[in-house]
Structure 1
Amino acid sequence: MQSKIRVVLLDDHPLVLEGLKRRLEQESDIEVPRTFSNPVELIEGIERCQPDVLVMDIAMPQMNGFELGQRLKEKYGHTLKIIVLSGYMYEEFYKKAYEIGVHAYLSKQSPYPQIINAIKQSMLGHALVAENIWRADLEKLTHMERNVLRRVAEEKTNKEIAAELSISQRTVEYHITSINQKLGVKTRIGAVAKGYEKGLLGSFWEGTDDS
């Protein structure tokens, strides 16, 4: 049985913490061992929690999120994924966060499904860049995502794709979600159409793309 994703939360607003914690724990594959109300408290207690993912605010007392993120990344590297939830949606903030190594920088107004998706995508190593920021990067699919998209275009089911690529059906679903987000679409059909439009699948008039 696959272990749950361990997520810790950091925010100085109790209502935000409680609401997000309650929603995340409705997910069968996520658990929230602890929440923190300030960065110093988190630094002192994070090792006991051994989280996979930290979801945190940027503007906090005692230490800002950029400084905290830098310290955590220097100590834990890729073993700790960081998702930022912020009310400051400025391009320079996005860039600074991604330079540190966060996996997603989202608005505090983001719906819960988007936050949950970012958490799960981070566990696959995907960095979700904010919409309208670095658009060219959004349209760059990983090698695995291209393989998944090619099979979606061949009208294969998630089960068939999982078998061919030796991954789980859940991982296929995560890849498809990432593909849709990067291409700015909401459906499999939309992803295929955009894939042809962007030259990711050759053209409708070509044969099988084996590149």
Structure 2
Amino acid sequence: MTIRVLLADDQAMVRTGFSLILGAEDDIEVVGEAKDGVQALELSRQLNPDVVLMDIRMPRMDGLQALRELNRAGAAAPKVVVVTTFDDDAYVYEALNSGACGFLLKDSGPVLLTEAVRAAHSGEALVSPAITVRLLRGIQPPRTVSPAASDLSSRETEVVRLVADGMTNAEIAAALFVSLGTVKTHLGNIQTKLAARNRVEIALWAWRSGLVDG
């Protein structure tokens, strides 16, 4: 199934760059581009995209307000991933609390961008690893490692630690000298064992269980 994506950003060069990155993927199609929040709402209603990549600061209507307006449609609303240059915790919390399915910085790179689109389409949330690590530092102090840790292999435990350190899949593969496919297999097994829905919950488990330090 092809994932239909709408781009919403007031910078034409950003839209063009994202369009080239996503258009190179066999399972993703960019169906429209909006230059502000108002146009994002209009095109979303006309084109029925599966996922909207939404900037925050745009003229006429900002991305967070547009996100809230889109989510009024309930289950019929497209999944929204906020992609911005503004590394601000307040924006992260507001976006996720308003129903965003991801939060990326514009310098996150093409791999994470495509992963975020696919994760959103699957109903999961993907947050830039660097932001994830910073936010998790505010979580309650680590506890004793939970019994679930004994179910992880030594290699899976390594992967969990690297996820919690904010590494992307590609960075983990390079650090462990394994293929990207092997990392994805490990992550799938880890999610099953920890009953985690995504890498954010894997990182949260690692911090709370004491596998990584604050």
Equivalent residue in structure 1 for 2:6, among 8, 16, 34: 8
CA RMSD of aligned residues (A): 3.9
- Contact 2:161–2:206 (Cα < 8 Å) also in 1: no
Equivalent residue number for residue 134 of structure 1:
135
Equivalent residue in structure 1 for 2:110, among 106, 109, 112: 112
Identity of paired residues, percent? 24
In the TM superposition, what are the counterparts of 1:9-28 in structure 2 within 5 Å?
9-28=7-26
Equivalent residue number for residue 55 of structure 1:
53
In the TM superposition, what are the counterparts of 1:23-34 in structure 2 within 5 Å?
23-34=21-32
1:78 to partner: Cα distance: 6.7
- Contact 2:36–2:62 (Cα < 8 Å) also in 1: no
TM-score, reference length from structure 2:
0.65
1:120 to partner: Cα distance: 0.8
1:199 to partner: Cα distance: 10
Query: Partners of 2:106 and 2:64 in 1: how far apart?
Result: 16
Equivalent residue number for residue 44 of structure 2:
46
TM-score, reference length from structure 1:
0.66
Aligned length: 168
SS at match of 1:132: helix
Gaps of 5+ in 2: 141-147, 174-182, 195-204, 209-214
1:183 to partner: Cα distance: 6.8
1:165-193: per-residue Cα shift (whole Å, max 9, x none)?
A: xxxxxxxxxxxx99974574524498699
Equivalent residue in structure 1 for 2:119, among 121, 132, 136: 121
- Contact 2:80–2:101 (Cα < 8 Å) also in 1: yes
CA distance 1:119–1:13, shift in 2 (3 Å): same
1:48 to partner: Cα distance: 2.2
Give runs of ≥4 in structure 1 deviating > 6 Å. Answer: 177-180, 189-193
Query: Partners of 2:107 and 2:206 in 1: how far apart?
Result: 30
Gaps of 5+ in 1: 138-145, 156-176, 201-211
SS at match of 1:69: helix
CA distance 1:63–1:23, shift in 2 (3 Å): same
1:101-136: per-residue Cα shift (whole Å, max 9, x none)?
A: 111111111101111111111122211233324325
Query: Partners of 2:87 and 2:126 in 1: how far apart?
Result: 15
If asked which structure has higher relative contact order (CA below 8 Å, sep 6+), I would say 2
Equivalent residue number for residue 78 of structure 2:
80
